[in-house]
Amino acid sequence: MALSGARAGCYSRRMRAYLKAVLWAYRLILGREPTEEEVQAHLGYPKLSDLRRAFFSCPEFRQRERYLCGPSLTGFEPALLIEDAVEDATLEKLLELTRLSWEHLGEHEPHWSVLSADEFKQANLDAHRERFYASGQHSAEQFLNLLRRNGCLPEKLSDKRIIEYGCGVGRVTHALAQRFGEVRAYDISAPHLELARQFAASLGLDNIRFAQIKRPQDVTQLPQADAVYTTIVLQHNPPPVIRFILKALLDALAPSGVACFQLLTYQQGYAFSAEAYLRASPEQGRRVVEMHVLPQRRVFEIIAQSGCRVLETLDDALADYRGGDLSNTFLVQKQPAPD
């Protein structure tokens, strides 16, 4: 396909190079020539890595090249050596290191720490802030669609309470508040929470109650809720903390309540020892975005212990899709109250 001479002449040299990239993406990835309308639709991506990701994740490619989009695990992977149960004092130390790390991130790169793309770094944020928060609307709609297709979306959400754990700067919080009657939004980082409060106030949302998680006891004192939502959060905590938080979140569900949560359940070569982790961690925290794993079998144990049942388990790309890694989104429901 060739653009008309008049149309092509309107573009700068840089844009013409980008146009060629779009054309060749269609040819090499989708194996066909695009229409002019399709080319125009792909000019809004800020960088080539975003364009590449869009092509490889589009339904046309996934349907055409199914063998290239196979599962990341084969079933021949070895078991992981993961310590996920520790004494209370050790759990408190692990949570404190996580808090210090995320408060550092919240002070320096709060939005990037939530979605790790260069455009969401502080130096670039003004031009991309709207897209950052729009992604939260997309996440909320995905959550509601999961409820809808499993037949557990109430007719009215205005009288329902939802807990969002790891609200960060309010990326999804504001979208949940526009749908649910009350949002209880929790985070471990005070700087993140302050930005979330400011954003909610700028939208005039008054049905959100923000609170900081400072110690394990705070997690066990969550109010009862009709729904729980947490994504791209649990995987940043050491396994004993993931296990502790997940159990508390599911325990907080009201009868017939639903929870949507995501975490990394396998990573090739991953291992965790609380003693080794604490020994290697500086007193002020690691100050990096860490990735941790809790195996599926542990997740299913916690679900059962909390009186819940699994409605869906999805493979997702929320931990950056790589061979040998598995991230899952779980939708679970609390058993109904006895008659």
Percent of the chain exceeding pLDDT 70 equals 91
Q: What is the pTM of this model?
A: 0.82
Q: What is the pLDDT of residue 4?
A: 47
Model confidence at 104: pLDDT above 60: yes
Q: What is the pLDDT of residues 137-154, one digit of tens each?
A: 999 999 999 999 999 988
Q: How far is CA 339 from CA 96, 223, 226, 335, in A?
A: 42, 23, 19, 12
Band of pLDDT at residue 322, cut at 50, 70 and 90: low
Mean pLDDT of the chain: 90
- Domains of the chain, each with CATH number or no CATH: 5-69 (no CATH), 88-334 (3.40.50.150)
Mean pLDDT of all residues in 31-43: 87
Spell out the SS3 assignment of the chain: CCCCHHHHCCCCHHHHHHHHHHHHHHHHHHCCCCCHHHHHHCCCCCCHHHHHHHHHHCHHHHHHCHHHHCCCCCCCCCCCCECCCCCHHHHHHHHHHHHHHHHHHHHHCHHHHHCCCHHHCCCCHHHHHHHHHHHHHHHHHHHHHHHHHCCCCCCCCCCCEEEEECCCCCCCHHHHHCCCCEEEEEECCHHHHHHHHHHHHHCCCCCEEEEECCCHHHHHCCCCEEEEEECCCHHHCCHHHHHHHHHHHHHCEEEEEEEEEEEEEEECCCCECHHHHHHHCCCCCCCCCCCCCCCHHHHHHHHHHCCEEEEEEEEECCCCCCCCEEEEEEEEEECCCCC
Q: What is the pLDDT of residues 231-272, one digit of tens each?
A: 999 999 999 999 999 999 999 999 999 999 999 999 999 999
